[in-house]
Amino acid sequence: MSRSMKLAALAAMLAGGCFIATPPMRFGGKSSQEAQRQTLGNETPPALVSNATWSSEVSTQRIRVYADDDFRAQNVHWQHTFDDELAYANEVLAPLLGIRLVAEYRSWQHHAPGGSLADSLEELARLDPGSDVLSVVGLTSALALVSGTFDQLGYASIQGRHLIVRGYADREERQMFERAFPDLRADERDALFASRRRHKTAAVLLHELGHNLGATHETEANTIMNATYSDHSASFSDHSREVMLATLAERVHRGHGTATVNHPHPQLVVRINDKQQAVIGGQLVDDATVAELFRMSYADDHDTQVVIKAPRSVPSAAVVRLLELAKAAGLQRSSREIDDGP
């Protein structure tokens, strides 16, 4: 089975949510486990990047984030989870558009499981006009299925100030990976799951922010503004960038600025909770999963930066343990940040 055939087959399974468990087979001399491991490696999402470097000062822009009742119930540490998503999105926005977003968080007394995102967006706009921030973000419950369409994952007003993003369908995605890769170790599946979650949540946020800044859907495959999410998308098109720059020039009263071609390096954030457990994308992960994710990050970009965020109360040995795993994977750029937030 060729790589393109494997990619097409897996993409179809992920989009449609239909996996069929098969007995062990051999493909061209490879066992089922070996074939699945190769496919898993091929399906690691690329880093989201900017293809340009902003040459002027990067400005800080505020967004206000509301988490509704259902989202908070599904995501206990939702502020930390969104912090990670926003940090990844900022790695694209700063060099691409010259902005870095900071969030303030509020609870939203809103309960509409299964309701339309358009209705939720209207309710959010009535709650908060957003005249003092770049965008108002509403976080609502995940679908009980895996969707590959951005319109089912989020919704935003074109050149407006409001957007809605659904939570990540953790259970459904995990079940699909278990059915797609039944012969692999759990830590191997978990590493790909964490990588896919990080990519998908940041891509959805960037897609909806793109709408707020005037960008519309594109037909070019694997761009962030394509109507369908792709785990191979990596950047905005030049056209979308120009549209967003024009909107920002009017909204924050600045010029377009200039940019040069660049390929920035990604950042991988790992949190340590007060029980000395590693958390990536809001999910508890064991050391084997962290090590595998470090290896995958190294394969994607040797200069990936590892940031370990931990409360002051966490012993330094817990941080050193993860830094050593990063070094063992070949990642040399790392740092620790104090994280005493809620």
Residue 46 has a pLDDT of 83
Rounded Cα distance between 167 and 303, Å, is 30
Q: What is the pTM of this model?
A: 0.68
Q: Above 60 in pLDDT, residue 224?
A: yes
Centre a 10 Å sphere on the Cβ of residue 41 and count the other Cβ atoms it contains.
12
Residue 263's pLDDT is 45
**Statement to judge: residues 218 and 112 lie in one domain:** yes
Q: Are 141 and 71 in contact (CB under 8 A)?
A: yes
272 inside domain: yes
When comparing pLDDT for 137 and 273, which is higher?
137
Q: Provide the token pair at 186.
A: 């759990």
- Confidence at 11, pLDDT banded by 50, 70, 90: very low
Question: 158 with 134: CB under 8 angstroms?
Answer: no
Answer whether residue 259 shows pLDDT above 70: no
Question: Which of 261, 296, 312 delimits the end of a domain?
Answer: 261
Model confidence at 21, pLDDT cuts 50, 70, 90, reads very low
Mean pLDDT of 281-288: 79
117 with 207, same domain? yes
Is 177 inside any structural domain?
yes
- Asked if residue 309 lies in contact with residue 84, where contact means CB atoms within 8 angstroms, the answer is no
308 beta partners: 270, 336
How far, in whole angstroms, is CA 22 from its chain's centroid? 31
pLDDT of residue 122: 94
pLDDT band per the 50, 70, 90 thresholds, residue 205: very high
Q: Locate tokens 């064991």: which residue?
A: 286
User: pLDDT of 97-108, one tens digit each?
Assistant: 999 999 999 999
Domain stop point among 261, 278, 298: 261
CB 206 within 8 A of CB 224: yes
* Two tokens, residue 146: 């895996």
Quote the DSSP letter at residue 226. B
- Residues 123, 202, single domain; the answer is yes
Q: Does a structural domain hold residue 1?
A: no
Question: For residue 194, which of 103, 342, 274, 295 has the smallest C-alpha distance?
Answer: 295
Query: 69 and 106: one domain?
Result: yes
Do 229 and 322 fall within a single domain? no
Domain, as residue range, for 297: 267-338
Same domain? For 58 and 194 the reply is yes
Tell me what pLDDT residue 181 has: 73
Mean pLDDT in residue range 122-141: 95
Q: Where are the alpha helices (DSSP H) in the chain?
A: 3-16, 32-42, 69-74, 78-97, 117-127, 150-153, 170-180, 186-212, 238-251, 287-300, 316-328
136 and 284 share one domain: no
Q: Does residue 307 sit in the same domain as residue 171?
A: no
CATH classification of the domain holding 283: 3.30.420.270
**pLDDT at 164 (0 to 100):** 95
Position 191 in a domain = yes
Q: Which of 14-23, 156-165, 184-193 has the lowest mean pLDDT?
A: 14-23
Residues 131 and 311: their CA atoms lie apart, in Å, by 35
Predicted confidence (pLDDT) at residue 260 exceeds the cutoff of 70: no
For residue 55, what pLDDT is reported? 86
Task: Verify that 218 and 199 share a domain, yes or no.
Answer: yes
Asked if residue 152 belongs to a domain, the reply is yes
User: Does a structural domain hold residue 14?
Assistant: no
Across-strand partners of 163?
Answer: 137, 156
Residue 31 in domain? no
Distance (Å, whole) CA 312 – CA 338: 6
3-class DSSP state for residue 298? Answer: helix
Q: Which amino acid is at 100?
A: R
Instruction: Say which range, 7-21, 100-114, 131-145, has the weakest mean pLDDT.
Output: 7-21
Residue 116 has pLDDT above 50, yes or no: yes
Q: Is residue 45 part of a domain?
A: no
- Give residue 120's region: left, alpha or beta (phi > 0; psi -120 to 50): alpha
Q: Is 80 exceeded by the pLDDT of residue 22?
A: no
Whether residues 257 and 289 fall in one domain = no
Residues ≥6 apart with Cβ < 8 Å to 54: 94, 95, 96, 97, 98, 257, 259
Report whether pLDDT(26) > 50.
no
For residue 248, give the CATH number of its domain. 3.40.390.10
Query: Do 217 and 188 fall into the same domain?
Result: yes
Among residues 261, 276, 307, the one where a domain terminates is 261
Mean pLDDT for 319-323 is: 90
Name which of 65-69, 74-78, 160-164, 262-266 the model is least confident about: 262-266
Q: How confident is the model at residue 274 (pLDDT cuts 50, 70, 90)?
A: confident
Confidence of residue 184 (pLDDT cuts 50, 70, 90): confident
Q: How many helices (H) and strands (E) does the chain have?
A: 11, 14
Kindly state whether residues 62 and 169 are assigned to the same domain: yes
Q: What is the pLDDT of residue 8?
A: 36
Work out how many domains the chain is built from and give that number: 2
User: Is pLDDT above 90 for 87?
Assistant: yes
User: Is residue 309 within 8 Å of 267, Cβ to Cβ?
Assistant: no
The answer to whether residue 147 scores a pLDDT higher than 90 is no
Position 255 scores a pLDDT of 64
Local structure of 139: helix, strand or coil: strand
Query: Does pLDDT of 292 surpass 60?
Result: yes
Higher pLDDT, 133 or 192: 133
How far, CA to CA in Å, does 237 sit from each of 202, 234, 240? 16, 10, 5
Contact predicate 297/250, CB 8 Å:
no
* Closest listed residue to residue 299, CA positions, set 119, 17, 44, 16: 44
